[in-house]
Amino acid sequence: MLLLESMEEEIRQNYTEAEKLQVFHDEFMPHINSMYNFAYRLTFDEDDANDLVQDTYLKAFRFIHSFEKGTNAKAWLFRILKNSFINDYRKKSKEPAKVDYQDVETYYNSDDVDRQITPDLRVESLQDMIGDEISNALNSLDVDFRTVIILCDLEGFKYEEMAKILDIPIGTVRSRLHRARNLLKEKLTDYAKQMGYKNT
Amino acid sequence: MPDSTTSPEGKKLSCIEMLQLMLEGDATLEQQQNFKAHLDECMPCYKSYNLEVTLKMLIKSKCNGNGAPPELVEKIKTQISQNMPH
Ligand SMILES: [Zn+2]
Protein backbone atom coordinates (compact mmCIF):
# COMPACT_ATOMS: atom_id res chain seq x y z
CA MET A 1 0.00 0.00 0.00
CA LEU A 2 1.62 3.16 -1.25
CA LEU A 3 0.14 5.27 1.53
CA LEU A 4 1.32 3.55 4.57
CA GLU A 5 4.36 1.51 3.72
CA SER A 6 7.73 2.44 5.18
CA MET A 7 6.26 4.47 8.03
CA GLU A 8 7.35 1.75 10.42
CA GLU A 9 7.85 -1.95 10.03
CA GLU A 10 4.21 -2.70 9.71
CA ILE A 11 2.87 -4.99 12.35
CA ARG A 12 -0.72 -5.93 11.85
CA GLN A 13 -2.86 -5.02 14.81
CA ASN A 14 -5.70 -7.30 15.71
CA TYR A 15 -8.49 -4.96 16.69
CA THR A 16 -12.04 -6.02 17.38
CA GLU A 17 -14.71 -3.94 15.64
CA ALA A 18 -15.34 -2.12 18.89
CA GLU A 19 -11.66 -1.37 19.35
CA LYS A 20 -11.42 -0.02 15.82
CA LEU A 21 -14.21 2.42 16.55
CA GLN A 22 -12.64 3.39 19.81
CA VAL A 23 -9.23 4.07 18.24
CA PHE A 24 -10.92 6.03 15.49
CA HIS A 25 -12.89 8.24 17.83
CA ASP A 26 -10.33 8.63 20.60
CA GLU A 27 -7.12 8.89 18.60
CA PHE A 28 -8.03 10.04 15.09
CA MET A 29 -10.99 12.39 15.44
CA PRO A 30 -9.31 14.79 17.92
CA HIS A 31 -6.97 15.89 15.09
CA ILE A 32 -9.69 16.84 12.66
CA ASN A 33 -9.30 20.61 13.05
CA SER A 34 -5.56 20.46 12.39
CA MET A 35 -6.19 18.12 9.48
CA TYR A 36 -8.76 20.44 7.96
CA ASN A 37 -6.53 23.46 8.34
CA PHE A 38 -3.68 21.57 6.67
CA ALA A 39 -5.96 20.41 3.84
CA TYR A 40 -7.29 23.90 3.31
CA ARG A 41 -3.83 25.43 3.20
CA LEU A 42 -2.78 22.83 0.65
CA THR A 43 -5.78 23.19 -1.66
CA PHE A 44 -7.14 26.71 -0.93
CA ASP A 45 -10.58 25.34 -1.66
CA GLU A 46 -13.23 24.39 0.90
CA ASP A 47 -14.73 21.56 -1.15
CA ASP A 48 -11.34 20.08 -1.93
CA ALA A 49 -10.32 20.40 1.71
CA ASN A 50 -13.50 18.62 2.80
CA ASP A 51 -12.92 15.81 0.30
CA LEU A 52 -9.27 15.48 1.21
CA VAL A 53 -9.99 15.21 4.93
CA GLN A 54 -12.83 12.80 4.37
CA ASP A 55 -10.70 10.59 2.09
CA THR A 56 -7.95 10.65 4.66
CA TYR A 57 -10.19 9.55 7.51
CA LEU A 58 -11.79 6.80 5.48
CA LYS A 59 -8.36 5.54 4.43
CA ALA A 60 -7.18 5.73 8.01
CA PHE A 61 -10.12 3.60 9.08
CA ARG A 62 -9.60 1.11 6.28
CA PHE A 63 -5.94 0.69 7.24
CA ILE A 64 -6.41 0.99 10.95
CA HIS A 65 -4.83 -2.45 11.46
CA SER A 66 -1.47 -0.93 10.51
CA PHE A 67 -1.80 1.74 13.19
CA GLU A 68 -0.51 0.80 16.61
CA LYS A 69 -2.77 2.09 19.36
CA GLY A 70 -1.20 4.81 21.48
CA THR A 71 1.49 5.73 18.94
CA ASN A 72 1.65 9.01 17.04
CA ALA A 73 -1.80 9.14 15.41
CA LYS A 74 -1.38 12.74 14.35
CA ALA A 75 1.79 12.09 12.36
CA TRP A 76 0.22 8.99 10.86
CA LEU A 77 -2.86 10.94 9.72
CA PHE A 78 -0.84 13.85 8.39
CA ARG A 79 1.21 11.45 6.34
CA ILE A 80 -1.88 9.88 4.78
CA LEU A 81 -3.33 13.32 4.03
CA LYS A 82 -0.13 14.56 2.46
CA ASN A 83 0.12 11.44 0.27
CA SER A 84 -3.52 11.73 -0.78
CA PHE A 85 -2.92 15.33 -1.69
CA ILE A 86 0.07 14.48 -3.85
CA ASN A 87 -1.63 11.51 -5.53
CA ASP A 88 -5.13 12.87 -6.02
CA TYR A 89 -5.14 16.63 -5.85
CA ARG A 90 -1.81 18.05 -6.78
CA LYS A 91 -2.06 16.55 -10.26
CA LYS A 92 -5.10 18.58 -11.11
CA SER A 93 -3.93 21.80 -9.47
CA LYS A 94 -1.86 24.38 -11.24
CA GLU A 95 0.98 24.23 -8.73
CA PRO A 96 4.33 23.49 -10.30
CA ALA A 97 5.22 19.91 -9.40
CA LYS A 98 8.66 20.55 -8.03
CA VAL A 99 10.32 23.41 -6.27
CA ASP A 100 13.97 23.99 -6.93
CA TYR A 101 15.58 23.29 -3.59
CA GLN A 102 18.82 24.48 -2.29
CA ASP A 103 20.44 21.49 -0.78
CA VAL A 104 21.79 20.72 2.62
CA GLU A 105 25.33 21.67 1.72
CA THR A 106 24.38 25.29 1.07
CA TYR A 107 22.73 25.48 4.43
CA TYR A 108 25.68 26.88 6.30
CA ASN A 109 26.97 28.98 3.45
CA SER A 110 27.87 32.53 4.33
CA ASP A 111 25.04 34.24 2.46
CA ASP A 112 22.43 32.36 4.39
CA VAL A 113 24.22 32.86 7.66
CA ASP A 114 24.34 36.61 7.11
CA ARG A 115 20.72 36.60 6.20
CA GLN A 116 19.71 34.75 9.30
CA ILE A 117 21.94 36.74 11.60
CA THR A 118 20.97 40.19 10.33
CA PRO A 119 17.32 40.13 9.35
CA ASP A 120 15.79 43.32 7.94
CA LEU A 121 12.53 42.46 9.55
CA ARG A 122 11.94 43.91 13.00
CA VAL A 123 10.02 42.26 15.79
CA GLU A 124 7.98 45.45 16.17
CA SER A 125 6.88 45.31 12.53
CA LEU A 126 5.77 41.72 13.01
CA GLN A 127 3.79 42.62 16.07
CA ASP A 128 2.02 45.35 14.10
CA MET A 129 0.67 42.71 11.74
CA ILE A 130 -2.64 42.18 13.40
CA GLY A 131 -4.63 41.25 10.29
CA ASP A 132 -4.18 38.43 7.81
CA GLU A 133 -0.61 39.33 6.87
CA ILE A 134 1.03 36.31 8.48
CA SER A 135 -1.55 33.91 7.11
CA ASN A 136 -1.36 35.45 3.62
CA ALA A 137 2.42 35.34 3.66
CA LEU A 138 2.31 31.66 4.59
CA ASN A 139 -0.20 30.97 1.81
CA SER A 140 2.01 32.72 -0.73
CA LEU A 141 4.84 30.21 -0.28
CA ASP A 142 5.26 27.28 -2.67
CA VAL A 143 3.48 24.21 -1.39
CA ASP A 144 6.59 22.39 -0.16
CA PHE A 145 7.78 25.39 1.81
CA ARG A 146 4.29 26.07 3.12
CA THR A 147 4.04 22.47 4.25
CA VAL A 148 7.18 22.45 6.40
CA ILE A 149 6.17 25.68 8.15
CA ILE A 150 2.72 24.25 8.89
CA LEU A 151 4.12 21.00 10.20
CA CYS A 152 6.82 22.58 12.33
CA ASP A 153 5.58 25.94 13.54
CA LEU A 154 1.84 25.40 13.51
CA GLU A 155 1.53 21.73 14.41
CA GLY A 156 4.69 21.36 16.44
CA PHE A 157 6.04 18.23 14.76
CA LYS A 158 9.64 17.31 15.49
CA TYR A 159 12.10 17.18 12.57
CA GLU A 160 12.16 13.41 12.82
CA GLU A 161 8.38 13.21 12.54
CA MET A 162 8.39 15.61 9.62
CA ALA A 163 10.96 13.46 7.83
CA LYS A 164 8.59 10.49 8.15
CA ILE A 165 5.49 12.43 7.13
CA LEU A 166 7.22 13.86 4.06
CA ASP A 167 9.45 10.89 3.19
CA ILE A 168 12.56 13.01 3.06
CA PRO A 169 15.83 12.90 5.03
CA ILE A 170 16.10 14.96 8.18
CA GLY A 171 18.80 17.14 6.60
CA THR A 172 16.34 18.06 3.87
CA VAL A 173 13.69 18.91 6.46
CA ARG A 174 16.18 21.23 8.12
CA SER A 175 17.32 22.98 4.95
CA ARG A 176 13.81 23.25 3.52
CA LEU A 177 12.52 24.75 6.73
CA HIS A 178 15.41 27.18 6.84
CA ARG A 179 14.64 28.33 3.31
CA ALA A 180 10.93 28.46 3.98
CA ARG A 181 11.47 30.72 6.99
CA ASN A 182 13.69 33.04 4.97
CA LEU A 183 11.10 33.26 2.19
CA LEU A 184 8.40 33.94 4.75
CA LYS A 185 10.49 36.71 6.31
CA GLU A 186 11.14 38.22 2.88
CA LYS A 187 7.42 38.30 2.23
CA LEU A 188 6.73 39.85 5.62
CA THR A 189 9.48 42.40 5.05
CA ASP A 190 7.60 43.50 1.93
CA TYR A 191 4.41 43.81 3.94
CA ALA A 192 6.24 45.77 6.62
CA LYS A 193 7.54 48.20 4.00
CA GLN A 194 4.06 48.67 2.58
CA MET A 195 2.70 49.30 6.06
CA GLY A 196 5.49 51.79 6.63
CA TYR A 197 4.54 53.74 3.53
CA LYS A 198 0.94 53.81 4.61
CA ASN A 199 1.92 55.27 7.95
CA THR A 200 3.91 58.14 6.51
CA MET B 1 34.51 16.44 28.20
CA PRO B 2 32.91 18.86 25.79
CA ASP B 3 31.43 21.88 27.50
CA SER B 4 28.01 23.11 26.50
CA THR B 5 29.14 25.54 23.84
CA THR B 6 30.84 22.77 21.92
CA SER B 7 29.41 20.09 19.68
CA PRO B 8 29.87 16.43 20.62
CA GLU B 9 32.97 16.44 18.39
CA GLY B 10 34.45 19.14 20.62
CA LYS B 11 34.20 21.83 17.96
CA LYS B 12 33.05 25.22 19.27
CA LEU B 13 29.55 25.97 18.07
CA SER B 14 29.09 29.05 15.93
CA CYS B 15 26.30 31.56 16.54
CA ILE B 16 24.24 30.06 13.74
CA GLU B 17 24.66 26.54 15.07
CA MET B 18 23.62 27.59 18.56
CA LEU B 19 20.62 29.46 17.18
CA GLN B 20 19.59 26.43 15.18
CA LEU B 21 19.90 24.16 18.19
CA MET B 22 17.73 26.49 20.25
CA LEU B 23 15.09 26.87 17.56
CA GLU B 24 14.90 23.13 16.99
CA GLY B 25 14.26 22.71 20.69
CA ASP B 26 17.16 20.28 20.91
CA ALA B 27 19.44 22.29 23.18
CA THR B 28 20.29 20.80 26.55
CA LEU B 29 19.46 22.80 29.65
CA GLU B 30 23.08 23.87 29.95
CA GLN B 31 23.20 24.91 26.29
CA GLN B 32 20.03 26.92 26.80
CA GLN B 33 21.52 28.76 29.76
CA ASN B 34 24.72 29.44 27.86
CA PHE B 35 22.78 30.71 24.91
CA LYS B 36 20.69 33.04 27.09
CA ALA B 37 23.93 34.45 28.50
CA HIS B 38 25.34 34.76 25.00
CA LEU B 39 22.30 36.81 23.95
CA ASP B 40 23.38 39.60 26.32
CA GLU B 41 26.60 40.08 24.43
CA CYS B 42 25.70 39.21 20.84
CA MET B 43 23.25 41.59 19.20
CA PRO B 44 22.83 39.60 15.94
CA CYS B 45 21.87 36.47 17.90
CA TYR B 46 19.57 38.45 20.15
CA LYS B 47 17.74 40.03 17.20
CA SER B 48 17.59 36.86 15.21
CA TYR B 49 16.39 34.71 18.09
CA ASN B 50 13.71 37.19 19.11
CA LEU B 51 12.48 37.48 15.57
CA GLU B 52 12.27 33.72 15.05
CA VAL B 53 10.49 33.15 18.35
CA THR B 54 8.01 35.97 17.65
CA LEU B 55 7.36 34.69 14.16
CA LYS B 56 6.75 31.17 15.43
CA MET B 57 4.30 32.47 18.03
CA LEU B 58 2.48 34.58 15.47
CA ILE B 59 2.17 31.67 13.04
CA LYS B 60 0.70 29.59 15.83
CA SER B 61 -1.84 32.22 16.81
CA LYS B 62 -2.79 33.50 13.33
CA CYS B 63 -2.79 30.48 11.05
CA ASN B 64 -4.97 28.02 12.94
CA GLY B 65 -8.05 28.55 10.80
CA ASN B 66 -11.59 28.13 12.04
CA GLY B 67 -11.57 24.38 12.50
CA ALA B 68 -13.27 21.69 10.46
CA PRO B 69 -16.87 22.37 9.41
CA PRO B 70 -19.27 20.51 11.75
CA GLU B 71 -21.00 18.93 8.73
CA LEU B 72 -17.72 17.32 7.71
CA VAL B 73 -17.22 15.88 11.18
CA GLU B 74 -20.75 14.46 11.16
CA LYS B 75 -20.36 13.05 7.65
CA ILE B 76 -17.17 11.22 8.56
CA LYS B 77 -18.70 9.78 11.74
CA THR B 78 -21.75 8.59 9.82
CA GLN B 79 -19.66 6.97 7.13
CA ILE B 80 -17.55 5.15 9.65
CA SER B 81 -20.54 3.80 11.56
CA GLN B 82 -22.13 2.64 8.28
CA ASN B 83 -18.93 0.82 7.44
CA MET B 84 -19.18 -1.28 10.56
CA PRO B 85 -20.72 -4.73 10.37
CA HIS B 86 -23.82 -4.89 12.53
ZN1 LIG C 1 25.85 35.14 18.61
B2/chain A closest Cα distance in angstroms: 22
pLDDT digits (tens, 9 = 90+) for B32-57: 999 999 999 999 999 999 999 999 99
Which amino acid is it at B49?
Answer: Y
Across the interface, of A57, A134, A149, the residue whose CB is closest to B62 is A134
Q: How many structural domains does chain B have?
A: 1
pLDDT beyond 80 at A157: yes
Q: What fold is seen in the domain A122-195?
A: Arc Repressor Mutant, subunit A (1.10.10)
Q: What fold is seen in the domain A1-95?
A: Rna Polymerase Sigma Factor; Chain: A (1.10.1740)
Long-range contacts of A52-57 (CB under 8 A, 24+ apart): A52/A81, A52/A84, A52/A85, A52/A88, A52/A89, A53/A81, A53/B68, A53/B72, A53/B76, A54/B72, A54/B75, A54/B76, A54/B79, A55/A84, A55/A88, A56/A80, A56/A81, A56/A84, A57/A28, A57/A32, A57/B76, A57/B80
Q: Do A135 and B62 touch (CB under 8 A)?
A: yes
Radius of gyration of the CA atoms of chain B, in A: 22
Q: CB of B72 within 8 A of CB of A54?
A: yes
| A17 Cβ contact list (under 8 Å, min separation 6) | B84, B85
pLDDT digits (tens, 9 = 90+) for B14-31: 898 899 889 888 889 999
Question: Looking at this predicted complex, what is its ipTM?
Answer: 0.82
**Residue B82 sits at the chain A interface (C-beta within 8 Å):** no
Across the interface, of B47, B62, B85, the residue whose CB is closest to A17 is B85
Q: Is residue B5 part of a domain?
A: no
Q: Is residue B60 part of a domain?
A: yes
**What is the extent of the structural domain holding B72?**
15-83
Interface test with B, best of A53, A115, A141 (most B CBs within 10 A): A53
Which amino acid is it at A116?
Answer: Q
Angle between helices A159-166 and A73-84 (to 10 degrees): 40
Q: Do A29 and B73 touch (CB under 8 A)?
A: yes
Interface test with A, best of B72, B78, B81, B83 (most A CBs within 10 A): B72
Query: How does the average pLDDT of chain A come out, rounded?
Result: 84
pLDDT digits (tens, 9 = 90+) for A12-63: 888 999 999 999 999 999 999 999 999 999 999 999 999 999 999 999 999 9
Nearest residue in A to B42, CA atom? A117
CA B34 to ligand 1 centroid distance, Å: 11
Q: Is residue B39 part of a domain?
A: yes
Residues with CB under 5 A from ligand 1 (ion): B 15, 42, 45
pTM of the model: 0.84
pLDDT digits (tens, 9 = 90+) for A80-123: 999 999 988 776 655 554 444 444 434 444 444 445 544 578 89
Domain range list for chain A: 1-95, 122-195
Domains A1-95 and A122-195 share a fold: no
From chain B, the residues in CB contact with A29 under 8 A are 73, 76-77
